[in-house]
């Protein structure tokens, strides 16, 4: 049972990481009654978990899913093999068939198990003839998965998805309730959304770069020099973050004054901002950034200081 608990803990951690990066871990409804050992079913095994853990697993495996068989692409007549074993009607076969047809799918495996390797080379056969071999990436380690996802674009199709992903990923930032409202009604631009996610991710990391004495760490100084000064950043832009000019502060004072996220009876003047160039979008936030104070993000939307 020790190894089962460890495997379930890793699986739930993988699911949490995947969701943080806009992905879902699909399961099969059969998981609810799967054999954990030759003599123990899933319902029997989870009895050793806490009540909350049992509820979470039951809900996932029986109600919330998502379940890959609901969007299944391959049929029982498609013959798929892995290492000489038929994998038609399995998650391995489904992932391979999806990839064969241009749909990006990868696999999650439990550990310990016999599936701790990647990729899985699945063969699609007609009769006795191999038509093609499909390599399917497989994951089983939460840390390794997180590293992979950090370097991949996050799938987004709406500004609401951007908002949800950002809030989930940027726990060091405090967002006003209406921070993302200015994006409503604007055409969704994937590149701009990815840029906003990157900007807010950098701001989130910057907020975490303080030592126990409240002093900025070497990593914090590095981020400041790279993204808050006039030096070109890695994307070829000017400084990602900057303050508004004195003339802008005067001319656009009302627009740069927001309801304080911590106290609706107060206002907060947020002239520091992160920049997206195409289209011209801005992220306004409180300044300076200190260890013992919230970093408020009050506005994500079109540039306010247009002349």
**What is 119-177 written as a DSSP string?**
-EEEEEEETTEEEEEEEE-EE--HHHHHHHHHTSPPP--SHHHHHHHHHHH-TTEEE-T
* Structural domain total, the chain: 2
The string of pLDDT tens digits covering residues 20-69 is: 887 889 999 999 999 888 888 999 999 988 999 999 999 999 988 899 99
| 19 located within any domain | yes
55 and 116 co-located in one domain: yes
For residue 106, pLDDT over 70 is answered with yes
Rounded Cα distance between 162 and 157, Å, is 8
Q: Are residues 114 and 214 in the same domain?
A: no
**Is residue 147, in this structure, part of any structural domain at all?**
no
Co-location of 13 and 78 in the same domain: yes
The rounded distance, in Å, linking the Cα atoms of 182 and 146 is: 31
pLDDT of residue 152: 81
Between the alpha carbon of residue 32 and those of residues 65, 94, 256, the distances in Å are 11, 19, 53
Pick the last residue of a domain from 107, 142, 177: 142
In a domain, residue 185? The reply is yes
Work out the mean pLDDT of the chain and round it to a whole number. 89
Judgement on whether residues 163 and 295 belong to the same structural domain of the protein = yes
**Helices 2-20/51-59 angle, 10° precision:** 60
Residues 36 and 128 in one domain: yes
User: Which helix or strand (DSSP H or E) is residue 265 part of?
Assistant: strand 263-269
* Residue where a domain stops, chosen among 121, 142, 163: 142
pLDDT band at 99 (very low <50, low <70, confident <90, very high): confident
**What pLDDT score was predicted for residue 31?**
92
How, if at all, do strands 138-139 and 257-260 pair? unpaired
What the block records as the tokens of 215 is: 């002093």
What integer pLDDT is reported at residue 235 of this predicted model?
A: 43
Q: What are phi and psi of 179, to 5 degrees?
A: -55, -40
pTM over 0.85: no
Q: Please check whether residues 125 and 163 belong to one and the same domain.
A: no
Q: Do 293 and 168 belong together in one domain?
A: yes
Statement to judge: residues 14 and 136 lie in one domain:
yes
E strand or H helix that includes residue 93: helix 91-100
| Structural domain range at position 36 | 2-142
Q: Are residues 105 and 180 in the same domain?
A: no
Burial tier of 178 (Cβ tally within 10 Å: 0-12, 13-18, 19+): middle
Structural domain contains residue 38: yes
Average pLDDT over residues 85-110: 91
pLDDT in tens, 244-291: 999 999 999 999 999 999 999 999 999 999 999 889 999 999 999 999
pLDDT of residue 214: 93
157 and 297 share one domain = yes
- Is 179 within a domain? yes
Among 89, 108, 142, the domain-final residue is: 142
């Amino acid at each position: 049972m020790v190894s089962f608990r460890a495997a379930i803990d890793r699986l739930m951690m993988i699911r949490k990481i995947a969701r943080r990066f806009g992905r879902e871990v699909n399961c099969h409804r059969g998981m609810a009654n799967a054999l954990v050992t030759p003599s123990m079913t899933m319902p029997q095994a989870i009895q050793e978990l806490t009540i909350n853990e049992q509820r979470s697993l039951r809900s996932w495996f029986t109600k919330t899913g998502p379940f890959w068989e609901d969007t299944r692409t391959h049929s029982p007549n498609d013959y798929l093999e892995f290492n000489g074993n038929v994998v038609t009607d399995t998650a391995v076969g489904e992932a391979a068939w999806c990839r064969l047809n241009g749909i990006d799918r990868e696999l999650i495996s439990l550990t310990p198990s016999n599936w701790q390797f990647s990729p899985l080379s699945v063969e699609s056969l007609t009769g006795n003839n191999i038509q093609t071999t499909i390599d399917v990436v497989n994951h089983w380690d939460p840390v390794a998965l997180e590293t992979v996802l950090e370097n991949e674009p996050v799938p987004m199709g709406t500004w609401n998805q951007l908002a949800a992903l950002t809030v989930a990923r940027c726990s060091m930032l405090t967002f006003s309730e209406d921070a993302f409202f200015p994006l409503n009604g604007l055409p969704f631009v994937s590149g701009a959304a990815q840029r906003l996610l990157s900007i807010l991710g950098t701001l989130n990391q910057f907020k975490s770069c303080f030592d126990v004495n409240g002093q900025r760490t070497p990593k914090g100084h590095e981020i400041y020099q790279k993204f808050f000064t006039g030096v070109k950043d890695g994307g070829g832009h000017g400084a990602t973050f900057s303050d508004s000019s004195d003339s802008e502060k005067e001319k656009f004072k009302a627009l740069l004054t927001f309801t304080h996220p911590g106290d609706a009876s107060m206002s907060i003047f947020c002239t520091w901002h992160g920049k997206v160039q195409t289209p011209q979008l801005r992220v306004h936030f409180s300044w300076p950034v200190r260890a013992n104070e919230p970093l408020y993000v009050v506005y994500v939307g079109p540039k306010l200081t247009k002349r």
